[in-house]
Amino acid sequence: MTLKNLFICCLALLLAACGGVGSVRPGSADDTPVSDKGNDIVIYSLGLIDTNYRFGGKNPEAGLDCSGMVSYVYRQAAGLKVSGSAADIARQGRAISKAELRPGDLVFFNTMHRAFSHVGIYIGDGRFINAPSTNGRVRIDRLDNRYYATRFEAVRRYFD
């Protein structure tokens, strides 16, 4: 087992222990319930960290772009079908406020001077996993990062 896989397994166990449907995140300011499906999505997406970026990529072996990563993770981890571009995926979800964000929700950004041109998976504590073309790998970024904060557009939920 590689060090990366060991880290991911430990993180998965930690997240799984943090709650199920109807439970509350310890120390959360708003006591938002944690969803099992949302946790599954987060855990699965963490396993894709450092996967190569590829425009139009839909699986980790070939590389992933942002919408391909979301489609792949939602299908594999939660059995949910979301597909198309980031804008297409945004149209499929239920709009919620940023204050209602829970792990597994999708966050959308305007990164190409058009609405909903980038998407990531919210993992909690102001962080999200995404497949940006910059630096060419799936990674974790922060919503309060200046680049993303000025381009933030919306949150969508697809379960619960």
The tens digit of pLDDT for each residue in 121-139 reads 999 999 999 999 988 999 9
The torsion angles phi and psi of 122, rounded to 5 degrees, stand at -70, 130
Is residue 111 over pLDDT 90?
Answer: yes
Rounded to 10 deg, the angle between the 36-46 and 3-17 helix axes is 170
- For the question of residue 130 being annotated catalytic, the response is yes
Q: Which of 10, 110, 118, 135 is catalytic?
A: 118
State how far the Cα of 79 lies from the Cα of 92, in Å rounded to an integer: 15
Q: How many C-beta atoms surround the C-beta of residue 58 within 10 A?
A: 17
Q: Which of 18, 59, 130, 145 is catalytic?
A: 130
The model's pLDDT over 12-63, given as tens digits with 9 standing for 90+, comes to 444 444 444 343 343 344 455 679 999 999 999 999 999 999 999 999 999 9
- For the question of residue 145 being annotated catalytic, the response is no
Taking a C-beta distance cutoff of 8 angstroms, is the pair 124, 103 a contact? yes
The model's pLDDT over 56-69, given as tens digits with 9 standing for 90+, comes to 999 999 999 999 99
Mean pLDDT across the chain, nearest whole number? 86
- For the question of residue 66 being annotated catalytic, the response is yes
Taking a C-beta distance cutoff of 8 angstroms, is the pair 92, 82 a contact? yes
